[in-house]
Structure 1
Amino acid sequence: MNQLVRSTTITFFYKLLLSIIIFSIIPSNVLAHNQKDLIMITDIHPGMKGIGKTVFSGIRIEEFEVEVIDIIHGSGITYPYILVKLSGDRIDNNGGISAGMSGSPVYFEGKLAGAISHSWEMSQHNLCLVTPIHIILTLFEYIDQEKQSIDYNSLIESKVITCSVDDNLKKGLQNLTSSYKLNNSHVFGNKPSIDFYNIKSPLIISCFSRRASAYIKNSFNEYGVAVTSVQNLAEYQDMEKELDISNGIQKIEPGSAIGVQLSLGDVSVMGIGTATYCQDNYVLAFGHPFLHQGAVSYLFSAVYIYHSFPNIVMPFKIGSPYLLLGEVIQDRSAGVLAKINKFPNIVPCKIMVHDLDRNIKEQSGAKVVPQKEMVQGIAPALLIQSIDNVLDRIGQGTAITKFGFRCKNNEEILNYDNIYFNENDIAVEVSNDLSTLLDLLYYNFYEEIDLNEISIDVTIKEQNQSALIKEVKLNTKEYYLGENIEPQIIIAPYRLSEEQKQVSIRIPDSASVGDAVLIVKGGLSKEQITEKTITQGEQDYLLDGWAGIKAYLEEKEKNNQIIVELILFNESEKLGQIDRDETRHNQKDLRATLDTDFVVEGYHEIFLNIKSRDKPETE
Structure 2
Amino acid sequence: MSKARAACGFITTATVSGLLVALPALPSQAAGDCPTALPTSEAVDGLEGTGYTVERGTTPDPFGAKLLGRITDGIAPGVDMIMADLDSPALERAGGVWAGMSGSPVYTSDGKLIGSVSYGLTAASNIAGITPAEDLTALGAGSGAAATVKVSGHRAARLAKTGETSKALAAKGFERLPVPVSASGIARRHTKRFLKSVTAGSGMAVRSGGARIGVRAQSSPDEIFAGSNYAAALSYGDISLTGLGTTTYVCNGTAVAFGHPFLSAGQVEYSVHPASAVLVQEDPTGLAGGPFKVGNPGGVVGTVTRDNTTGLRSTLGQAPAHQFPVTTLLKNESGQTISGTTVGVYQTYAADIAALHLQAAVVKALGAQGGGSAAIQITVNGTRAGGKKFKLTHSDHFSDSTDVSYLAADSLYFMILPLISQSFEDVQITDVKISGAVTSGIQQYRVSRMQVKKNGAWTALKGAQKVTSGGSLALRATLTAYRSTKTVTVPLTVAVPKKSSGFTGTLTVTDGLSATSPDREPTSLDGLLKQINATASNDSVVARIDLDTPSGGQVSGTAVAHAEGSVSPYLKLLTVDVS
TM-score normalised per structure 2: 0.80
Which residue does the alignment assign to 2:485? Answer: 496
**Contact 2:219-2:274 within 8 A present in 1 as well:** no
Report how far residue 85 of structure 1 moved.
Answer: 0.5
Segments of 5+ residues of structure 2 without an aligned counterpart are: 1-28, 456-464
| Counterpart code for 1:346 | Q
Residue in structure 2 matching 1:399, options 362, 374, 395: 374
Residue in structure 2 matching 1:382, options 353, 357, 362: 357
Distance 1:435 1:256 in 2: 36
Which residue does the alignment assign to 1:116? Answer: 117
1:543-582 matches, cutoff 5 A: 544-545=524-525, 547-566=526-545, 572=550, 576=552, 579-580=553-554
Distance 2:315 2:166 in 1: 40
Report how far residue 194 of structure 1 moved.
Answer: 3.7
Instruction: From the two aligned structures, give the one with the greater helix fraction.
Output: 1
Distance 1:194 1:478 in 2: 72
Distance 2:309 2:204 in 1: 17
Distance 2:468 2:196 in 1: 58
Which residue does the alignment assign to 1:8? Answer: none
Residue in structure 2 matching 1:511, options 495, 499, 511: 499
Report how far residue 228 of structure 1 moved.
Answer: 5.4
Structure 1 residues 391, 132: closer, same or farther in 2, change over 3 A? Answer: same
Which residue does the alignment assign to 2:459? Answer: none
**Contact 2:512-2:541 within 8 A present in 1 as well:** no
**Contact 2:415-2:532 within 8 A present in 1 as well:** no
Structure 1 residues 78, 398: closer, same or farther in 2, change over 3 A? Answer: same
Report how far residue 483 of structure 1 moved.
Answer: 6.3
| Counterpart code for 1:80 | D
**Contact 2:182-2:209 within 8 A present in 1 as well:** no
1:33-432 matches, cutoff 5 A: 37-73=36-72, 77-110=77-110, 111-123=112-124, 125-139=125-139, 141-142=140-141, 152-153=142-143, 157-166=145-154, 170=157, 172-177=158-163, 179-180=165-166, 182-183=168-169, 193-211=171-189, 217-227=195-205, 229=207, 231=209, 233=211, 250=222, 252-311=224-283, 312=286, 313-344=289-320, 345-356=322-333, 358-373=334-349, 375-408=350-383, 409-432=387-410
Distance 2:70 2:62 in 1: 22
Which residue does the alignment assign to 2:14? Answer: none
Distance 2:503 2:35 in 1: 88
**Contact 2:73-2:81 within 8 A present in 1 as well:** no
How many residues were matched structurally? 524
Distance 2:496 2:165 in 1: 85
Distance 1:266 1:525 in 2: 29
| Counterpart code for 1:552 | Q
Structure 1 residues 288, 602: closer, same or farther in 2, change over 3 A? Answer: closer
Structure 1 residues 57, 421: closer, same or farther in 2, change over 3 A? Answer: closer
| Counterpart code for 1:164 | S
CA RMSD for the aligned pairs? 3.4
**Contact 1:135-1:334 within 8 A present in 2 as well:** yes
Secondary structure, aligned partner of 1:330 = strand
Distance 2:507 2:260 in 1: 58
Report how far residue 256 of structure 1 moved.
Answer: 1.6
Report how far residue 70 of structure 1 moved.
Answer: 2.0
**Contact 1:286-1:335 within 8 A present in 2 as well:** yes
Distance 1:433 1:526 in 2: 13
Report how far residue 363 of structure 1 moved.
Answer: 1.3
**Contact 2:120-2:176 within 8 A present in 1 as well:** yes
Report how far residue 246 of structure 1 moved.
Answer: 6.2
| Counterpart code for 1:298 | Y
**Contact 2:269-2:305 within 8 A present in 1 as well:** yes
Distance 1:553 1:35 in 2: 49
**Contact 1:212-1:385 within 8 A present in 2 as well:** no
Distance 1:256 1:479 in 2: 74
Secondary structure, aligned partner of 1:424 = coil
Distance 1:566 1:207 in 2: 45
Distance 2:222 2:108 in 1: 26
**Contact 1:395-1:426 within 8 A present in 2 as well:** yes
**Contact 2:183-2:239 within 8 A present in 1 as well:** yes
Distance 1:35 1:499 in 2: 73
Distance 2:34 2:539 in 1: 69
Distance 1:568 1:70 in 2: 73
**Contact 2:331-2:365 within 8 A present in 1 as well:** yes
Higher alpha-carbon deviation: 600-609 or 294-303: 600-609
Structure 1 residues 400, 117: closer, same or farther in 2, change over 3 A? Answer: same
**Contact 2:507-2:576 within 8 A present in 1 as well:** no
1:410-559 matches, cutoff 5 A: 410-461=388-439, 462-475=441-454, 485-487=473-475, 489-494=477-482, 495-502=484-491, 504=493, 511-514=499-502, 519=507, 521-524=509-512, 526=514, 536=518, 539-540=520-521, 542=522, 544-545=524-525, 547-559=526-538
Distance 2:176 2:209 in 1: 26
Structure 1 residues 266, 212: closer, same or farther in 2, change over 3 A? Answer: farther
Structure 1 residues 113, 610: closer, same or farther in 2, change over 3 A? Answer: closer
TM-score normalised per structure 1: 0.76
Report how far residue 95 of structure 1 moved.
Answer: 2.9
Distance 1:565 1:246 in 2: 57
Distance 1:507 1:196 in 2: 67
Percent identity over the alignment is 19
Distance 2:205 2:470 in 1: 65
Structure of higher CA gyration radius: 1
Report how far residue 447 of structure 1 moved.
Answer: 2.2
Distance 1:302 1:36 in 2: 21
* 1:510-529 deviations in Å (ceiling 9; x for gaps): 634335567362442645xx
Secondary structure, aligned partner of 2:50 = strand
Secondary structure, aligned partner of 1:37 = coil
* 1:410-452 deviations in Å (ceiling 9; x for gaps): 3443211122333432211111111111122212232222101
* 1:81-139 deviations in Å (ceiling 9; x for gaps): 2211111333323433121111111112321111111111324x210111111112221
Report how far residue 402 of structure 1 moved.
Answer: 1.1
* 1:164-208 deviations in Å (ceiling 9; x for gaps): 131x762x434421543515xxxxxxxx82410101121122333
Secondary structure, aligned partner of 1:210 = coil
